[in-house]
Structure 1
Amino acid sequence: MKTPVLKILCLLGLQLGLLLGLQPDAAQALTLEQRLFDQAWRVVSQAYVDDTFNDQNWWAVRQTVLSQPLADRAQTYDVVREMLDSLGDPFTRLLEPEEYRNLQMTTSGALTGVGLQIASDRTNGQVIVIAPIAGSPAERAGLHPGDHIQAIDGQPTDDLSLDEAASLMRGPQGTTVRLTVNRWINPDFNATLSPIPKPVTTSDQSSPQPNLEFWEVEVVRDLISLNSVISELRQEPGLPPLGYIHLLQFNGNSRVEMEDALLDLESQGAEGYILDLRNNPGGLLQAGIDVARLWLDRGTIVYTVDRHGVQGSFQANGFALTEDPLVVLVNRGTASASEILAGALQENDRATLVGETTFGKGLIQSLFQLLDGSGMAVTVAKYETPLHHDINKEGIHPNYEVPSVPLRSNQWGSDLDRQYQEALTLLYPKSLAQNPGQG
């Protein structure tokens, strides 16, 4: 007969096992598939920004899954995805091994595909374009921020995760992928879009919704250059030398590339700058902070707020490379880390923003590798601008609202670019007043 103390210890052990979601006989080790699920569950449990887990009992989620066998890896991935879907956060997602490697490559190197930065539409689950990468096949095909990818090679995107959709659009250089695209036609917004290819009607689109255009386009995959920075010294007629910098995204090379560009332009005598963040979908948070420090001598760059409401902050470090006047160009494709940079420069009175309200992604994800080489992107915090604005789903409003006009990538920063011309006017008002034919 067991002693009372031993009885108590057994009872405590049973209660602890139930609390952890294990059956009473769960002294046996978890299977490999259960361990993989358990690791994914624990990552979310410890790191996810919402400690209510979308108002659900997170322990019960684990208990339900581990009370049943997981037959194979495919089933394990399915239950992990179902678990993550229950959070209602499209940015927290499972990345199968190839997807995880591709994402790591995207933030540090190059890829072969169509060149789209994408998100999940909050209303219908379809893939929405944040921005095409400059010079990419997708840009040449006429895709724009806000377009919806309804299907990829006939497969509806509302049945796909973001990473599954991205994987379908990647592939060997020279191969083609067929995208079914829809675009809302808004009279207040129409002038910002380039002409739409002739719409197509398929069997399930015989009666398209009013103000909604559908079309199909075949895009030839190509090697996508992920260089972050394009820069040049410009000598506009009658104006002081101007440094024009187009920052395409934030990856592991962004700070060094921006530093090199600024030092080169300073050495050539630039007296003012236009920083173009249009269609910049973001990328690495730290890269955004590091780039901001090249422009800001002092002040807060961004606040982060974790699941407990604890604030962290990142500050300028007194090593700005220039104090010359600066105008920043933004549009609906300016998202995430590029919004951090734009907000920091605007709210520290370092720059004037020109263009359109930005995308509005104020959430921060971290990557976690799982034991089989897969991984997860998990929302771990939200961020606030230096003046404590939460821009998630709201975006950053420019100081000067200037609608976009349909332009090819080689026309950005030209006489046809109204946002660029407005930036020139703000940088050099006196010079332009003396030369009224310019701008």
Structure 2
Amino acid sequence: MNQSAKRYSPLQAVLIGGAMATTATISLFGQAWTRCVHAALQDSPKALVYQVWQLVNREYVDSKFNQQDWEATRQSLLSKDYTSNDQAYVAIREALQKLGDPYTRFMDPKQFTALTTQTSGEVSGIGIRMEVNEKTKRLTIVEAIENSPAVKAGVKSGDEILAIDGKSTLKMKVDEASNLIRGKAGTGITLRLGRPGKNQFDLKLTRATIELPTVNYTLKQEGGRRIGYIRLREFSAHAADQMRRAIGNLNNKKVDSYVLDLRGNPGGLLQASIEIARMWLDNGGIVKTVDRVGGSEETKANRTALTNQPLAILVDGNSASASEILTGALKDNKRALVVGSQTFGKALVQSVHELTDGSGLAVTIAHYYTPKGTDINHKGITPDIQLDLTEAQERQLAANPDLIATVNDPQYARAIVALSNTKFAQPMTPPQSSQPLSIRAEDLKF
């Protein structure tokens, strides 16, 4: 599918999430908000409470509402007077808690903005990653993102940020610094930087909209094999485009096998997951969703695979949601060999809505199944080759990220051995399939 991920907004998405997420569509409440109630309650905390109740009443996957009397909940919510939105937030969260579903959740405006920023794959700033250096205790630049204002201004890895617009960063936390650095695209910011072998200096930059990298890739020579290693950190709105570029560049380098690393990937947009599945899979099912009345929709591959070279997928207990949909699709269709630990196990889809005051609501609206009809909820996907890391190995990789995807990474090393097996070493012959069905993937998110 040569369709840009930029076509859909994070406010028009469905989430399927695990450690991070929910499966959801984001929308405005629209016509379900009746005129009479709107007129009586508009812009009041009670209006917000009623809006949430209505959305759950209309969409929640369990029509019995976890054996709760949802109509009585409405009466209880509307019988109270709320003097502030914060009071309404408390009442909303208490009502949602009765559903017993952690993925149907309310987000205040700050939390909702964080979610939409995360799934958009964009941020307005200068394009740097920072950390507080353990030795110097100084705020230090880890990297400057490609094509960002920071790169264009000559910012380098290892530079210390001593002040932001004149404010000292001594003892400043990364979150606080990020809040100061981020801002509206086109606005200016001045950093005072320290660089080894050079006097402190001020650097003026102009903020811009930055596409966050979620795909990293490299060519690895493992014995006689040319391995295209791709790590996908999250299914953001730009993930499919970035994956397409990665596969294309590695194809040009004549790789003969691929390793797709989904370890620690908590999910993201469903549309991104479907597009990426289609890059690896020519035919076969990708995912099926079932709603509250038993209605099901299925999406399939559409003969747009970019490669048929052997593929191994790395997963762990934090591979969730969209990661599990992609893994399940490629595993069930025997397109990839899955190596690692049992995945997270979340097979619920949420609809995400922006509310009248800028807050948000995620509502579970459907259950999803792998192409073979497997329900992985609370179970996860069992790898073809199960290999759990010891605590010592996990600590070693966490402390030394450069060891990931090397011989010192047991799961990666085991995948390379498996790809060298003659059984998996030949390009896949695409199976024949009937005309694929499709769903409105642009309305879905993990």
- Does the pair score TM above 0.5? yes
- Alignment correspondent of 1:236: 222
Q: Is 1:380 matched with 2:365?
A: yes
2:277 counterpart of 1:292: yes
Deviation at 1:225, TM superposition (A): 8.9
1:359 — aligned with what? 344
CA change 1:431–1:38 in 2 (3 A) is closer
1:99 matched to which residue of 2?
Answer: 111
**Alpha-carbon offset, residue 50 of structure 1:** 1.1
* Partner in structure 2 of residue 412 of structure 1: 404
Conserved? CA contact 1:277–1:330, under 8 Å: yes
* Match of residue 40, structure 2, among 26, 29, 35: 29
In the alignment, what sits opposite 1:81?
93
CA contact 1:232–1:245 (8 Å) conserved in 2? yes
What are the equivalent positions in structure 2 for 1:16-55 lying under 5 Å apart? Answer: 29-30=40-41, 32-55=44-67
**2:261 is aligned with 1:257:** no
Alignment of 1:172 with 2:157, yes or no, is no
Aligned length: 313
Report the residue type matching 1:44 in the other structure. V
Letter in 1 for 2:268: G
Deviation at 1:333, TM superposition (A): 1.2
Q: 1:174 to 1:106 in 2, by over 3 A?
A: closer
CA distance, structure 1, for counterparts of residue 99 and residue 48 of structure 2: 19
2:308 paired with 1:323: yes
Query: How is 1:92-241 mapped onto 2 (pairs within 5 angstroms)?
Result: 92-109=104-121, 171-173=175-177, 226-237=212-223, 239-241=224-226
Cα displacement string for residues 83-113 of structure 1 (whole angstroms, at most 9, x for unaligned residues): 111111111111111211111101123579x
1:391 matched to 2:376 = yes
Other-structure match for 1:248: 233
Q: Kindly indicate whether the alpha-carbon contact (under 8 Å) linking 1:346 and 1:353 is maintained by their aligned counterparts in 2.
A: yes
Output aligned runs, 1:294-309, within 5 Å.
Answer: 294-309=279-294
Match of residue 429 from structure 1: 421
Equivalent residue number for residue 16 of structure 2: none
In the TM superposition, what whole-angstrom CA distance separates every residue of 1:40-71 from its partner, at most 9, and x where no partner exists?
A: 11111111111111111111111112123222
Letter of the 1:269 counterpart: K
Q: Distance in 2 between matches of 1:252 and 1:417?
A: 29
TM-score by length of 1: 0.66
Any idea what the Cα deviations from partners look like across 1:341-397, whole Å, max 9, x if unmatched? Answer: 000000001001011110111111221011111111111111101111111110000
Query: Structure 1 CA distance, aligned partners of 2:56 and 2:408?
Result: 48
Higher relative contact order (CA 8 A, sep 6+): 2
In 2, the alpha carbon distance for the partners of 1:421 and 1:414 equals 7
Structure 2: which amino acid aligns with 1:370? L
- Across the aligned residues of Structure 1 and Structure 2, the Cα RMSD in angstroms comes to 3.1
1:347 aligns with 2:332: yes
Q: Give distance in 1, aligned partners of 2:81 and 2:265.
A: 44
Partner of 2:77: 65
Aligned with 2:175: secondary structure? Answer: coil
Unpaired runs of at least 5, structure 1: 1-25, 113-134, 141-168, 176-223, 434-439
Aligned residues of 1:106 and 1:226 also touching (Cα < 8 A): no
Give 1:173 shift: 2.5
Q: Kindly provide the CA deviation profile for residues 97-133 of structure 1, in whole angstroms up to 9, marking residues without a partner as x.
A: 1211111101123579xxxxxxxxxxxxxxxxxxxxx
Q: Give % identity.
A: 43
Matched residue of 2:412: which SS? helix
Q: Secondary structure at the match of 1:107?
A: helix
1:208 matched residue in structure 2 = none
3-state SS, counterpart of residue 373 of structure 1: coil
> Which of 1 and 2 has greater Rg?
1
1:312 aligned partner: 297
Residue pair 2:211, 2:238 contacting (<8 A) in 1 also: no
Q: CA deviation at 1:432?
A: 12
Contact 2:310 2:424 in 1 (8 A): no
Distance (whole Å) between structure 2 residues aligned to residue 428 and residue 370 of structure 1? 52
1:421 partner amino acid:
A
Query: How far apart are the structure 2 equivalents of 1:102 and 1:77?
Result: 17
- Structure 1 residue 429 displacement after superposition: 2.3
Greater Cα offset, 384-393 or 71-80: 71-80
CA contact (8 A) 1:367 1:378 kept: yes
- The amino acid of 1:236's aligned partner reads E
Does the 8 Å CA contact 2:341/2:382 hold for their aligned counterparts? yes
Paired letter, 1:402: L
1:226 Cα offset (Å): 4.3
- Give the equivalent residue in structure 2 for 1:283: 268
CA distance in 2, matches of 1:302, 1:427: 26
